[in-house]
């Protein structure tokens, strides 16, 4: 190899490193933050509600529940836990996550590969759509629907046609984060329950990289009820900057504040 060729090769290596190194540190080098929580307020929650989806908008709490024969879409009074409006799904469907997009509520089902579209005010069933994966959680960023299926993947759907328009794999420092469940879009990030874990993960929806973890160790025992199930349900009040969580068959819905772990 001539000296000139060797010099060119070295220059290419240096330039490649100069370009790729910043990208590596942009997506891989940022520290993953750790949070615990502080309970700000508690509200009653229906102990028979097998919570699968949770949304708060304009002072109103909406909830989707699961289990065959007990799956519903609900409008709930936050302060009292009173169910003020409900729609019962057919016994053939296991209800899953919900989201509000404009004047519609969108609800997934578990393994039936079918979603439902409702009028937000009347709960009138407006239509249906299909998807190839299981349905677990769903949220939106104002432009796209964002859906989970219990794997490490998040799927982006066109909110008008419900066609898949993108997909990312969620990773924590190169390791896939599986069992992504109920979702909420908050200030540019996706918050996701992890099925059967007392954790919520905060995800960058552009890169799929984990930005933070929220540790809720021991929170299920606080419900003090033998029938209570896993942590599942995240809702955000954008007007008042309030974050709510609950779980399947929990007796309470909690307003929480994140506390950074030093």
For 30-48, the pLDDT digits (tens) are 799 999 999 999 999 999 9
Cα 142-130-118 angle, rounded to 5 deg: 55
Euclidean distance between CA atoms 77 and 80, whole angstroms: 6
Euclidean distance between CA atoms 85 and 63, whole angstroms: 10
The arithmetic mean of pLDDT across residues 131-144, rounded, is 97
Euclidean distance between CA atoms 14 and 5, whole angstroms: 14
Return the sign of the alpha-carbon dihedral for residues 153, 154, 160, 165.
negative
Nearest to 127 by CA among 94, 104, 143: 104
> What letter does residue 59 receive in the DSSP assignment?
T
Q: What is the pLDDT of residues 193-248, one digit of tens each?
A: 999 999 999 999 999 999 999 999 988 888 766 567 899 999 999 999 999 999 99
pLDDT at residue number 227: 63
Mean pLDDT for all residues in the chain: 90
Euclidean distance between CA atoms 29 and 24, whole angstroms: 7
CB atoms within 10 A of CB 59: 10
Strand residue runs (E) in 49-163: 51-57, 60-65, 72-76, 83-88, 95-101, 104-109, 114-119, 125-130, 138-140, 145-148, 153-157
Rg (CA), the chain: 21
CB 44 within 8 A of CB 80: yes
Euclidean distance between CA atoms 219 and 137, whole angstroms: 21
Euclidean distance between CA atoms 33 and 187, whole angstroms: 16
CB 100 within 8 A of CB 107: no
Q: What is the pLDDT of residues 145-195, one digit of tens each?
A: 999 999 999 999 999 999 999 999 999 999 999 999 999 999 999 999 999
pLDDT at 7 over 80: no
The model's pTM: 0.87
Euclidean distance between CA atoms 89 and 108, whole angstroms: 11
């Amino acid at each position: 190899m001539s000296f000139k060729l060797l010099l060119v090769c070295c220059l290419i290596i240096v330039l490649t490193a100069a370009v790729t190194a910043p990208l590596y540190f942009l997506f891989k080098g940022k520290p993953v933050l750790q949070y615990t929580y502080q309970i700000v307020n508690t509200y009653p929650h229906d102990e028979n509600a097998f919570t699968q989806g949770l949304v708060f908008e304009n002072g109103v709490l909406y909830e989707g529940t699961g289990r065959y024969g007990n799956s519903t879409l609900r409008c709930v009074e936050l302060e009292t836990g009173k169910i003020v409006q409900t729609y019962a799904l057919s016994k053939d469907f296991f209800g899953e996550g919900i989201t509000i997009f404009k004047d519609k509520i969108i609800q997934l089902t578990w393994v039936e590969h079918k979603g439902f579209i409702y009028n937000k005010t009347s709960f009138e069933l407006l239509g249906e759509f299909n998807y190839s994966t299981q349905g677990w959680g769903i949220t939106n960023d104002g432009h796209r629907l964002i859906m989970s299926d219990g794997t490490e993947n998040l799927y982006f759907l066109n909110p008008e046609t419900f066609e898949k328009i993108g997909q990312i794999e969620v990773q924590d420092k190169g390791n896939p984060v599986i069992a992504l469940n109920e979702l909420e879009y908050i200030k540019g990030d996706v918050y996701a329950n992890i099925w059967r874990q007392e954790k919520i993960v905060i995800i960058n929806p552009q890169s799929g990289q984990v930005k933070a973890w929220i540790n809720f160790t021991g929170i299920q025992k606080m419900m003090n009820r033998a029938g209570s199930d896993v942590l599942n349900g995240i809702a955000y009040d954008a007007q008042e900057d309030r974050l709510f969580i609950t779980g399947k068959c929990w007796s309470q819905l909690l307003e929480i504040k994140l506390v950074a772990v030093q």
